[in-house]
């Protein structure tokens, strides 16, 4: 009986080895392990053996069955791998693939790149200066008096660091105007620079966020006037908002310019006629003016020889004023809502 079991095992392994597909392998399984299979029938003969030989026969029979089952399982895995490889080989690699989704630059980054490109065309050079600054650069050298509200810790983020003996406390830049001082103390006239940077103020509502972006323009030379400033303003407004848009300046007060102006741009919704958005046909864009003589002196530039003009506006503000950008809350720009971000 033992010889019969060994013969069944060898025959089954031979059939398994020669099987070329899963169908023939299934037939081999039924032939040896099915209800009427050779091994099944052989096991039924165990009753004819003497009682003392039955345990050894049972152990051998189980080993034979396990060996055949393991061989069949291994062959199934082998045939499945071959089938998978064959399917892969039949794939037409010339068929167009499914492109993964691609992102894009954030709306504010797009605005910054466009603004930089506009001013570079008329000779302004992009510069970058620290976001963590000394009080002297952010306020003192810009002609701010010691008791000015902007220097209060309810308006400005001060850093908990030891003050500099000359430059005073450490703070986060509340405006890009500190870049004017950095530029004029580093380079002598003629100067024509554009500083675009993050600014920080303790404000948060529909028109303010604690971190935002400004772009600051500064020109210093021997013979600059308000007419030069107005020409730059008109150029930017038409290049950024459209040829039909107009700009105007209104007298105002800033510590670091004299005279100072608020800059308005004509409303794109009503073309300056007056509507619910603008009320009287104009939208406020930001500040500008001629560089204050004290600021020039603080940077060791002789105001009797040189003069200049400067302007500083919020990137997000001019972005929201652009045609096609319908935003009534600046905080939306920095949300993570994909339905908003994907529009741009």
| Across 102-118, average pLDDT | 92
Per the CB < 8 A criterion, the answer to whether 118 and 240 are in contact is yes
pTM of the model: 0.68
Residue 28: name the closest of 55, 78, 68, 58 by CA: 68
Q: Are 195 and 186 in contact (CB under 8 A)?
A: no
- How confident is residue 135, by pLDDT bands cut at 50, 70 and 90? very high
Query: What is the model's pLDDT at position 256?
Result: 93
Bridge partner residues of 330 (DSSP):
none
Check whether 317 has a pLDDT greater than 70.
Answer: yes
Residue 75 exposed, middle or buried by CB count within 10 Å (0-12, 13-18, 19+): buried
Order of all β-strands in the sheet with 158-164 = 132-134, 168-172, 158-164
Q: List pLDDT tens digits, range 259-283.
A: 999 999 988 767 777 776 676 888 8
């Amino acid at each position: 009986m033992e010889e019969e079991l060994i013969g069944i095992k060898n025959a089954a392994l031979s059939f398994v080895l020669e099987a070329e597909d899963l169908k023939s392998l299934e037939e081999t399984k039924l032939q040896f392990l099915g209800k009427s299979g050779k091994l099944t029938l052989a096991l039924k003969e165990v009753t004819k053996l003497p009682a003392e030989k039955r345990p050894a026969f049972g152990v051998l029979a189980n080993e034979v069955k396990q060996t055949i089952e393991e061989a069949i399982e291994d062959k199934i895995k082998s045939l499945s791998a071959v089938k998978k490889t064959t399917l892969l080989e039949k794939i037409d690699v010339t068929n167009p693939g499914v492109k993964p989704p691609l992102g894009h630059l954030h709306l504010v980054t797009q605005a910054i790149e466009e603004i930089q490109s506009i001013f570079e065309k008329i000779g302004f050079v992009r510069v970058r200066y620290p976001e963590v600054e000394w009080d002297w650069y952010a306020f003192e050298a810009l002609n701010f008096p010691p008791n000015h509200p902007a220097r209060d810790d309810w308006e400005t983020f001060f850093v908990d660091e030891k003050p500099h003996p000359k430059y005073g406390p450490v703070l986060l830049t509340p405006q890009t105007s500190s870049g004017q001082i950095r530029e004029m103390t580093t380079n002598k006239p003629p100067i024509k620079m554009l500083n675009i940077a993050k600014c920080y103020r303790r404000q948060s509502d529909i028109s303010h966020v604690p971190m935002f972006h400004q772009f600051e323009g500064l020109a210093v030379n021997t013979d600059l006037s308000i007419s030069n400033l107005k020409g730059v303003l008109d150029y930017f407004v038409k290049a950024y908002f459209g040829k039909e848009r107009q700009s105007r300046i209104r007298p105002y007060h800033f510590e670091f310019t004299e005279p100072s102006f608020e800059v308005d741009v004509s409303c794109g919704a009503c073309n300056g006629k007056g509507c619910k958005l603008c009320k009287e046909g104009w939208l406020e864009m930001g500040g500008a003016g001629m560089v204050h003589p004290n600021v020039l002196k603080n940077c060791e530039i002789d105001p009797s020889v040189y003069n200049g003009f400067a302007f500083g506006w919020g990137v997000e503000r001019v972005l929201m004023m652009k045609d096609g950008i319908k935003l009534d809350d600046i905080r939306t720009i920095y949300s993570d809502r994909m339905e908003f971000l994907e529009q741009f």
